[in-house]
Amino acid sequence: MAMIQPSFSFSHEFTYDVFLSFRGTDTRNNFTGNFYKALCDGGVRTFIDDRELHGGDEISPSLVKAIEESRIFILVFSINYASSSFCLDELVHILHCFKANGCLVLPIFYDVEPSNVRHQTGSYGEALAKHEERFQNNSEKDKNNNMERLHKWKMALNHAANLSGYHFNPRNNGYEYEFIQQIVRFISNQINRVPLHVVDYPVGLQRQVLKVYSLLDVRSNDEVKVVGIYGPGGMGKTTLAKAVYNFIADQFEFGFEFKLRNSSEGISTIKQRLQRKKVLLILDDVDELKQLQALVGGLDWFSVGSRVIITTRDKHLLASHGIDVTYEIRELNKKEALELLRWKTFKGSNLFGKHIEEWNSLLDRYERIPNKGIQKILKVSFDALEEDEQSVFLDIACC
């Protein structure tokens, strides 16, 4: 099956913070109703659909639009959720958005066992069996279409039940309002997260973000995965890592960017803050062997589904510790370089709107006065070369 590429935007405006999917006859007048009020009271823009009040068996275009304009999806799996074909079709569409857009999907298992949803047993197995029996009485064409629909429902239930979420049993898990407040706090933290600053002109970044995104495989929740980004200084490794972070951070309990300066102190801080949580962690500019030794030996600190992005100049540093999922930062192609030049020259430059004489004057100064920032970056890479390699570099540079 072909992988669905996510749509990509550095700044996406959502109409709703949260979309609630639930079985109305089960929870509208109790848990979901109370949960909806708590979200609204907390300033969370929440879409709740009263479809069962006006009937109908198909998802309306307005509901599809609401799904596609929502940032976070909360699935309230209750005893009779699977008895509603409407809920199941809605679930399929939500997971399509999850795969395509990298949004956060949060299941809540209310008075049901996650295993019943995952394996379609108990009330879920009974409900799906009734759907199948009903489909068997359709015409041949409708029967085939609906059996395919049934298959999608089962796959969606299994997928959703494997995502990190919450489980509440009204008889054994304490006060419901405390459970609700716990989730509302988590959601509030998600929607109020400040994105990392990337760049003013993200030319050429989209294609590289999508490649790293595919390497991270964020849809898989069965392991902790580490991806290394490597390349020379000044090529944009940190920028790329931050852009990936902004793209997928909503799918994790915690996101954290960390620049390791002292290996023992740094690793200790990471362990203290992020232990046993599903995290997205950026370790920027790793250049010491002992930093990776301490980290790779501690991946069991994190919950499965966590992702670690490491940026380094040294590809061999990654390979020596078994980090074989890597991405080499690429320079801009000619089209992208020209686009960046246009942005910098005609829109972002201090020369914008100036006369040609001022352009020529500044160009002459740039030729005579080296850029200190570029010099500093190049010096780090130069110092990392062997002595004979430094000689070759200087010979080429002076030609």
Q: Which residues are catalytic?
A: 90
Identity of residue 120: Q
- Answer whether 43's CB lies under 8 Å from 57's CB: no
Cα 258–Cα 228–Cα 327 angle in degrees, nearest 5: 135
Identity of residue 205: L
DSSP one-letter code for 329: -
- Answer whether 252's CB lies under 8 Å from 306's CB: yes
From CA 178, how far away is CA 181, in angstroms rounded? 5
307-312: strand order across its sheet: 254-259, 279-284, 307-312, 225-230, 326-328
- Answer whether 163's CB lies under 8 Å from 221's CB: yes
Cα–Cα distances (Å) from 267 to 10, 166, 299, 341, 352, in that order, read 30, 29, 11, 40, 46
